[in-house]
Chain A
Amino acid sequence: MVWQKTLQVILFLVLAPFAGGLLSGLDRKVTARFQGRQGPPLLQPFYDLAKLFRKQSLVVNKLQTFLVGGYFVFSVFTGCLFFAGGDLLLAFFAMTLGEVFFIMAACSANSPFSAMGTQRELLQIMCSEPMLLLAAIGFYKVTGSFMVDEIVGTRVSPVAYLPGMFLGFLFILTIKLRKSPFDLSTSHHAHQEMVKGTTTDLTGNVYALIELAEWYEEVLLMGYIALFVINREWWSIPLAVLVCLLCYFFEILVDNVFPRVKWDKMFRSAWLVTLVFGGVNLLVLLCVRLIH
């Protein structure tokens, strides 16, 4: 049992960056095709990362490097917890702690662009986190456990009981994958308005760490999606991979169809969507439980 878990963690540590990088490359390629362009090579994100590691690092202060390291470690740790079949709530808290490190790193730079980026990053967390927590509660209500390896052992895919949660999760996935709104500091598009927000002052290998952490996080989010689909049958695993890819494609589509959504719209809509889709879903579950 311990061996199996160790193997799962090692597999995640080694394979996740490749999967995350490939997903990002696919994203840029598909986006370019949507816009009638040829787009960069599929492996472009790997070239970017290799370049960043070879650039000179201008360190603003030592504390920042330490904090970025903390963000990286906790992002990876969250993924390890999740893919080793650990506690969803614990993974959730570890992820939040990682985000706190990230925000502190941006704050320590003492630049107006970083400061502005931090405020938007906090708003983003405020908007997306409730749905993540609600989804964890939903999984608990359906399977009676917060443990990932017990959730994947259910008879029926959780999405059958949690369709609302799934839709709500898709909505915040747009925010979490840094697709929309475009003027979030970590979004891949907000280049000019506030330079690069939270990451404005990061260079070279320190910035590369952030990119790498993002890839780990991308895989973790895809894992979350898979959790909605996987049950004890073997065929649910390829089905889950397919659903993940479809969801990712859907997010790219959303990104291209709504390129100019701003943070205030996210702020106004995220909780509403969480409440309507997630909340109503939970309420129905509770009512059905009561009737039985």
Chain B
Amino acid sequence: MKMSQSPWLLHYDGSSCNGCDIEVLATTTPVYNLERFGVINTGNPKHADIFLITGGINSQNAPVVKQIYDQIPDPKVVVAVGICACDGGIFKECYNILGGVDKVIPVDIYVPGCAARPEAIIDGVQKAVVLLDKKRQQMDAAVRPAAGRA
């Protein structure tokens, strides 16, 4: 059984206009039905595998995003949803915006769009899920040679 068969997702709203958040929620409705891939929308970083962020990073939420990222156990994947989360988007020039999510934590998948369409978000989650397996394999590979030496 692979990690990718059970991706639990944590949704965090950075400084989005809420447009992308509505679309993220739309993916869990009967029409788009993200749960058919085994996705659970959890509110707990300690149970999450995928960290899904909407909106850009400002000085107030930067430490929050960093802390949530640290609380998610490995392997984990970060998905930036919407152009704001990708690089600041329409708010990029604002005095309070530092930029996209990758200003504070490493981002694995970028989902563009303003707002990102539900289909695109599902696509992003699907890519994230593949990456999750890859990261687990890397973890195993890192452990095995070390065990061999011991």
Q: Which B residues touch A202, using CB under 8 A?
A: 46
User: A51 touches which one: B6, B30, B35, B71 (CB < 8 A)?
Assistant: B6
How close is B124's CB to chain A, nearest CB, in angstroms? 19
Contact B36 A196 (CB under 8 A): no
Q: Which B residues touch A51, using CB under 8 A?
A: 1, 3, 5-6, 49
Q: What separation, in Å, do the CA atoms of A40 and B33 have in the docked complex?
A: 9
Q: Which A residues touch B36, using CB under 8 A?
A: 32, 37-40
Q: Which of B33, B37, B46, B75 gathers the greatest number of chain A CB atoms within 10 Å?
A: B46
In the complex, whether A191 has a CB less than 8 A from a CB of chain B is yes
Q: What separation, in Å, do the CA atoms of A200 and B74 have in the docked complex?
A: 17
Q: Which A residues touch B37, using CB under 8 A?
A: 40
The residue of chain B having its C-beta at the shortest distance from the C-beta of A35 within the complex is: B30
Q: Which of A36, A41, A200, A203 gathers the greatest number of chain B CB atoms within 10 Å?
A: A203
For the A-B complex, the count of residue pairs with Cβ-Cβ distances under 8 Å equals 72
Majority DSSP secondary structure for residues of A touching B:
loop
The residue of chain B having its C-beta at the shortest distance from the C-beta of A201 within the complex is: B46
Q: Which B residues touch A40, using CB under 8 A?
A: 35-38
The residue of chain B having its C-beta at the shortest distance from the C-beta of A190 within the complex is: B43
Q: Which B residues touch A196, using CB under 8 A?
A: 42-44, 47
The residue of chain B having its C-beta at the shortest distance from the C-beta of A55 within the complex is: B73
In the complex, whether B126 has a CB less than 8 A from a CB of chain A is no
Q: Which A residues touch B46, using CB under 8 A?
A: 58, 200-203
In the complex, whether A56 has a CB less than 8 A from a CB of chain B is yes
In the complex, whether B127 has a CB less than 8 A from a CB of chain A is no
User: B73 touches which one: A46, A192, A195, A203 (CB < 8 A)?
Assistant: A203
The residue of chain A having its C-beta at the shortest distance from the C-beta of B70 within the complex is: A58
Contact A44 B38 (CB under 8 A): yes
Q: What separation, in Å, do the CA atoms of A240 and B105 have in the docked complex?
A: 55
In the complex, whether A54 has a CB less than 8 A from a CB of chain B is yes
Q: Which of B1-22 contact A (CB under 8 A)?
A: 1, 3, 5-6
Q: Which B residues touch A57, using CB under 8 A?
A: 73
In the complex, whether B92 has a CB less than 8 A from a CB of chain A is no
Q: Which A residues touch B49, using CB under 8 A?
A: 51, 55
Q: Which of B27-71 contact A (CB under 8 A)?
A: 30, 33, 35-38, 40-44, 46-47, 49, 71
Q: What separation, in Å, do the CA atoms of A28 and B38 have in the docked complex?
A: 10
Q: Which B residues touch A41, using CB under 8 A?
A: 38
Interface string of A167-201 (1 = CB under 8 A from B): 00000000000000000000000011001100011
Interface string of B68-107 (1 = CB under 8 A from A): 0001011100000000000000000000000000000000
Q: Which B residues touch A56, using CB under 8 A?
A: 73-75
Contact A54 B43 (CB under 8 A): no
Q: What separation, in Å, do the CA atoms of A50 and B7 have in the docked complex?
A: 12
Could you list which residues of chain B lie within 8 angstroms of chain A, going by C-beta atoms? 1, 3, 5-6, 30, 33, 35-38, 40-44, 46-47, 49, 71, 73-75, 136
Additional 8 contacts, C-beta under 8 A, given A37-B36, A191-B42? A28-B35, A32-B35, A50-B6, A51-B5, A55-B3, A58-B73, A196-B47, A200-B46
Could you list which residues of chain A lie within 8 angstroms of chain B, going by C-beta atoms? 28, 32, 35-41, 44, 46-48, 50-51, 54-58, 191-192, 195-196, 200-204, 207
Shortest 3 CB-CB contacts between residues of A and residues of B: A47-B5, A56-B73, A50-B1
Can you list 24 contacts pairing A with B, beta carbon distance less than 8 Å? A32-B36, A35-B30, A37-B35, A37-B36, A39-B36, A40-B38, A48-B6, A48-B40, A50-B5, A51-B3, A51-B5, A54-B136, A55-B49, A55-B73, A55-B74, A55-B75, A56-B74, A191-B44, A192-B43, A195-B44, A196-B42, A196-B43, A196-B44, A203-B47
